[in-house]
Amino acid sequence: MRLSKDKTELKVNESLTLAKIPPEVFQYRLGNRSALDWVIDQYQISTDKRSGITSDPNNPDDEEYIVRLVGQVVRVSVETVKIVNGLPADYGAAEKKAQRKTLAKKK
């Protein structure tokens, strides 16, 4: 799998390209990368140079698996970004203030 340079298309294989990937997908991050970037990284076919063993994480019994997985990751990412962007700017401020007071009392 490979993303296009503008990150709007995902080439799954020679005969399948998923298009119109929304930019919000890349705003939802797991550590230092997006969830979709993580999936793309994990679902690569690789061959160990020393042993010659090929690792193919794709499910040959369910050819639509990777398409469903990418669709689910895209949806969860977009919906999560919508929820987070809909939160008030000061969301969690009262809890943070209470935590600071608790920490100050312990000192």
List the domain boundaries for the chain: 2-106
Quote the pLDDT of residue 22: 96
Question: What are the pLDDT digits (tens) for 43-58?
Answer: 888 898 999 998 877 7
pLDDT digits (tens, 9 = 90+) for 60-106: 778 788 899 999 999 999 999 999 999 988 887 777 777 777 777 77
Total-model pTM: 0.74
Does position 28 have pLDDT exceeding 70, yes or no? yes
Integer CA distances (angstroms), 106 to 50, 96, 100, 102, 103, in order: 56, 16, 10, 7, 5
3-state helix, strand, coil split of the chain in percent (to 5) is: 45, 15, 40
| Better-scored residue on pLDDT, 63 or 7 | 7
Tokens of 14: 């020679």
Rg (CA), the chain: 20
107 pLDDT exceeds 70? no
**Strand (E) or helix (H) holding 35:** helix 35-42
Characterize 20-36 residue by residue with b for buried, 16 or more Cβ atoms within 10 angstroms of its Cβ, and e for exposed: ebeebbbebeeeeebbb
